[in-house]
Amino acid sequence: MGNPSTVSNGGKENFLLKAFIAGNSCAVVAAILNPFDVAKIRLQNQSSSLRYTGMINAIVTIGKEEGLRGLSAGVTASMIREILYSSVRIGGYEPIRKALSTPDSNPADASPIIKLFSALISGGVGAAIVNPFDLIKTRFQSILPGEVSPYRHTFHALQAIYRRDKVSGLYRGWTVTSSRAAVLTSSQLGSYDSIKHNLLMNICGMDDGITLHLVASMCAGLITTTATIPCNM
């Protein structure tokens, strides 16, 4: 039997490694997709006088008028947000699931309710923590050509918003953001884990492999898309 301290340290290292990989990989993806995020914010905020006619048109127009600076607006805040958010959302799921499971049982075989609730917590908490960076990212991306940014950089924005509105300013709208993230993570991670272990492996008898992961991912993707429709309206 292994040394308890060794097992404990191994679990801690495993959690930290997963959190590190999840946070940094999502940050890289966020940086790559930032032009689409900028275009989305501009499209949502434009008035009756249409400046952009669609996603591709918005990206092309922003690139021509503002260059790389416009397409990368808010990217620093976006990457910091993803590092923190995804580390908690993905890295925190298994420790929460383990804490809620019956002692000495295999957390992977926990009930779907425990898995869905564990993901609900990790997603909601992660989004609540990073709300200031989500707010700042959106503000940077909303600035149109010719407008002067009130902030020099991400941390100046944090300081300026805190000085003016205190903590309540940094956490404006956090309940909506956190609720959406909780639903998304629960329907994504919780449903994937439940479908994979509780249904496909334990009931259908599927072996671990590419087919299992593919089927579980497709089902979880459908559930996530359906569950988050009300949050996106």
What Å distances lie between residue 131 and 59, 72, 154, 214, CA to CA?
Answer: 25, 20, 13, 32
Name the residue with tokens 């959190």: 19
Q: Tell me how far apart the alpha carbons of residues 94 and 87 are, in angstroms, rounded to a whole number.
A: 12
pLDDT score at 5: 41
pLDDT score at 12: 58
Beta strands in 49-102 (DSSP E): none
Asked if 86 and 130 count as a contact pair (C-beta separation under 8 A), the reply is no
**Pick from 58, 83, 87, 80: which is nearest to 153 by CA?**
80
**Is residue 150 packed enough to be buried (19+ CB in 10 Å), middle (13-18) or exposed (0-12)?**
exposed
Residues with pLDDT less than 50, the chain: 1-8
CA 85 vs. chain centroid, Å, equals 6
pLDDT digits (tens, 9 = 90+) for 82-138: 999 999 999 999 999 999 998 888 888 999 999 999 999 999 999 999 999 999 999
**Pick from 231, 151, 223, 233: which is nearest to 187 by CA?**
223
Give the contacts of 185 (CB within 8 A, at least 6 positions apart): 89, 93, 119, 120, 122, 123, 124, 126
For the chain, how long is the longest CA-to-CA vector? 70
Q: Running DSSP on this structure, what letter comes out for residue 144?
A: P
CA 112 vs. chain centroid, Å, equals 21
- Residue 214 structure tokens: 């593919």
pLDDT score at 1: 41
pTM of the model: 0.85
Give the contacts of 193 (CB within 8 A, at least 6 positions apart): 97, 108, 115, 119
